[in-house]
Amino acid sequence: MDDRTTIFLELLTASERSLSLYVHSLVPRDSAAEDILQQTKMLLWKHFDDFTVGTNFLAWARKTAFHQILTHRRHKKREHLPLDEVSLEALGAAVSELASDIPERHEALRHCLARLPTEHRQLVHLRYFDDLEIDQVAERLSRTEAAVYRALSRVRMSLMECVQKQITSEVG
């Protein structure tokens, strides 16, 4: 591989998750979102010579993806689309702004998860990391589904408050 290819792949790899979240947040059907992502990646590679290395690759990739979303919507005119282009653009801007907070939120969440009591951490791990359904978590912990729902609700609320406090204390 030449340097150009390596640089492109490194930039794409670093931005891939954020780009995917961006597209999936604006396109309701997963299959359409995946098609748009693939088209976007091909266009990014095709026009990589137009990109200035050292500038914001993710912003460039999102702009390219947004145009691919608009193209997709124009091809689907006959279908009912819930948002017009202005609303979609506003939503895209909001998603981009929120996504810029993700690294700080991840770090805050990691900190807050580490502070949870072992029992609560186990509950979160089973539900969200092992991706078990509520009934499976209840069975594994020998608890009722209602008890698991209540406990998860309390843990989520606790984590949300902790993350907010972490972020507020970092900003302030």
Q: What is the tens place of the pLDDT at every residue in 49-90?
A: 999 998 999 999 999 998 898 888 777 665 545 555 666 566
Total domains in the chain come to: 2
User: CA 43, 55, 110 angle in degrees (round to 5)?
Assistant: 95
Residue ending a domain, among 45, 71, 99, is 99
pLDDT digits (tens, 9 = 90+) for 26-48: 887 778 889 999 999 999 999 99
What CATH number corresponds to the domain at position 119? 1.10.10.10
The tokens for 6 are 């390596």
Q: Give the CA angle between residues 149, 154, 160 to the nearest 5°.
A: 120
**108 in the same domain as 30:** no
Residue 157: half-sphere exposure toward Cβ, Cα within 13 Å: 6
**Confidence (pTM):** 0.49
- In this structure, the number of other CB atoms found within 10 A of the CB of residue 22 comes to 25
